[in-house]
Amino acid sequence: MKIRKVGVLGCGLMGSGITQVCAEAGYETVVLEVEQRFLDKGFASIEKNLSRAVEKGKITQEAKAKTWSLIKGTLNIEDLKDCDLIIEAVVEDLKVKNEMFSRLDSLCPEHTILASNTSSLTIMAMAASTKRQDRFCGLHFFNPVPVMKLVEVVRTIATSQQTIDTCFEFCKSIGKEPILAKDNSGFIVNLLLVPYLLDAIRALEQGVASIEDIDKGMVLGCNHPMGPLTLLDFVGLDTTYNIANIMFEEYREKRYAPPPLLKKMVLAGYYGRKSGRGFYDYSGEKPVPVDLGI
Distance CA 252, CA 247 (A): 8
Q: Is 152 a catalytic residue?
A: yes
Looking at 7, 10, 73, 228, which residue binds ligand NAD (CB under 6 A)?
Answer: 10
| Shortest Å distance, C-beta 242 to ligand NAD | 7
Q: Where are the alpha helices (DSSP H) in 223-292?
A: 228-235, 237-251, 260-267
Binding residues for ligand NAD, rule CB under 6 A, total: 27
How many Å apart are CA 179 and CA 187, to the nearest integer? 11
Handedness of CA 166, 167, 172, 175 (dihedral sign): positive
Is 258 a residue that touches ligand NAD (CB under 6 A)? no
Q: Give the C-alpha separation, 65 to 271, whole Å.
A: 33
Q: Which of residues 25-44 bind ligand NAD (CB under 6 A)?
A: 32-34, 38
190 binds, among ligand CAA, ligand NAD, none (CB under 5 to 8 A by kind): ligand CAA
Q: Is 119 a catalytic residue?
A: yes
Query: What Cα–Cα distance (Å) separates residue 168 from each residue in 17, 23, 127, 161?
Result: 19, 17, 19, 10
Which of 48/58 has CB closer to ligand NAD? Answer: 48
Whether 140 is catalytic is yes
Residue 18 dihedral angles phi and psi, to the nearest 5° = -65, -40
Q: Which does 164 bind (CB under 5 to 8 A by kind): ligand NAD, ligand CAA, none?
A: none
Of 241, 243, 234, 244, nearest to 275 (Cα)? Answer: 234
Does 147 bind ligand CAA (CB under 6 A)? Our answer is yes
Q: Name the residues that contact ligand NAD, by CB under 6 A.
A: 9-15, 32-34, 38, 89-92, 96, 100, 117-119, 141-143, 235-236, 239, 243
Catalytically active residues, by annotation: 119, 140, 152, 190
